[in-house]
A and B are shown apart, each in its own frame.
Chain A
């Protein structure tokens, strides 16, 4: 198994409303996205980081989550037939500026002809009571096309802060093992 950095981008001064990786080749086995990010917006402790594939804005996504946080939010949730896949909580402008949220999202067999499943683990922990959240998410895209682009954005139209980093990796399975028939 090997990892290859496909592309990485860092948000500049002024922030960004979305980050898109386009023209992703189908040559890897899986995709893995590593994110270190936060939002600019004052008044917000956190917000969901959403994903869309291949510019699909239709109600073709499903997602669920388990989370443990200091804000008494529901510890679990599920949404089906949504227009985006919510995959990680990212801290907002009300949290100290030095704290970024961390997320790892993996998309196995992204170029297969089956519907796509994804999972994520994520966390952000600041230095005050109740200023934390961590969890896992899962999601699916009911489309059999190979994924060639991924767009990340806030569910509530917040903007990514300067120095937020998005890195897209390709994971390739090794040649070992056997196929059972």
Chain B
């Protein structure tokens, strides 16, 4: 199915569903590919921070030394 954009003319009341041009599709696909990489990077970082939290919590309970990253997570 073709990619489209919707344009509503408030003066005439006419709604157009316009197919994207080849140039617009290429740009959209490039933007989506980059956005997907960015999303995966954010998820990887969130998982890393969650793992640090778990590790820091366990070390605090056991009275062990924290790593610099774990300490930074706690006190900023």
Q: Which residues of B contact A21 (CB under 8 A)?
A: 8, 10
A11 at the interface (CB under 8 A from B): yes
Whether A18 contacts B13 by the Cβ 8 Å rule is no
Q: Mark A1-16, 1 if CB is under 8 A from B, else 0.
A: 0000011010111111
Nearest chain A CB to B57 CB, angstrom units: 16
A16-B17, A17-B20, A157-B31 given as contacts; is B6 within 8 A of A168 (CB)? no
A41's nearest neighbour on chain B, judged by CB, is B32
Whether B10 contacts A25 by the Cβ 8 Å rule is yes
Whether B31 contacts A156 by the Cβ 8 Å rule is yes
Whether A12 contacts B17 by the Cβ 8 Å rule is yes
**Could you pull out 22 A-B pairs where Cβ atoms are within 8 angstroms?**
A6-B10, A7-B8, A7-B10, A7-B15, A9-B15, A16-B5, A16-B6, A17-B3, A17-B4, A17-B5, A18-B6, A19-B5, A20-B7, A20-B8, A22-B7, A71-B46, A156-B31, A157-B31, A158-B32, A158-B35, A159-B3, A166-B8
Chain B positions within 8 Å of A, measured between CB atoms, are 1-13, 15, 17, 20, 28, 31-32, 35-36, 38-39, 46
Chain A positions within 8 Å of B, measured between CB atoms, are 6-7, 9, 11-25, 41, 43-44, 71-72, 156-159, 166, 168
